[in-house]
Copies of this chain bind each other. A is one copy, B any other.
């Protein structure tokens, strides 16, 4: 069975791909070059896709910068914090408008061509707190829409399913699951603002959450941080 797996190269999507493989899917990994600052994650995605023997790994170039509006794509500084307790509430500036909607739409296009009825995305309980397009009600609404949008949905031959195996997990839970399904954590990349050598900054939202996750899971994080 074929599945399209969204793969950023981060801890979450790597774990999600690992789950899909363990469930026996033939995985088609899909990454996006969307003008993100942390392009080093695309190299991580390549490594992870090879590690999990993805049938194919496509990186679609999409242009989200034209719209602006996010620290990840526009010329806005990525916020830094002293600790994970300073992250605050609300929707972070690193939110990219409609990102997951666009990513899932591409996954849907590829799934339709591959005649795959399964899509994997690594959204999780931590993301839910800040990003609107990571919440379970969004994913459910996308699945409903997707089944009305496609040939196979209309013909009733396939029901497209969006799998979110990390849905109820926090970062520590993801680290534990990642270890179980065989993620090589040294291949993954999480930092929003790596230095010129690709080293993780250690104090952006993403680094802080990752470090906390490994700490709480009692697993060693093989990454080297500028600020440990």
Contacts and interface: CB of A to CB of B under 8 A. Distances in A.
Interface of A: 58, 60-64, 66-69, 91, 95-102, 105-106, 108-110, 112-113, 132-133, 135, 137-138, 141-142, 144-146, 148-151, 153-154
Nearest to A148: B138
A141 to B, nearest CB: 4
The complex is assembled from copies of this chain, and their number is 2
A113 B67 contact: yes
A161 to B, nearest CB: 16
B101 A145 contact: yes
Contacts of A148: 132-133, 135, 137-138, 141
A91 to B, nearest CB: 5
Nearest to A4: B67
Nearest to A95: B151
Nearest to A70: B113
Given A67-B109, A102-B106, A144-B144, 12 more contacts: A60-B66, A69-B109, A69-B112, A97-B151, A98-B108, A98-B112, A100-B149, A101-B105, A101-B149, A138-B149, A141-B149, A142-B145
A178 B141 CA distance: 34
Contacts of A154: 91, 132, 135
Contacts of A113: 67-69, 97
A97 B150 contact: yes
A171 B66 CA distance: 33
22 contacts: A58-B67, A60-B66, A61-B63, A67-B106, A68-B113, A69-B112, A98-B112, A98-B150, A101-B105, A101-B108, A101-B149, A102-B106, A102-B109, A132-B149, A133-B150, A135-B154, A137-B148, A138-B145, A141-B148, A142-B145, A142-B149, A144-B144
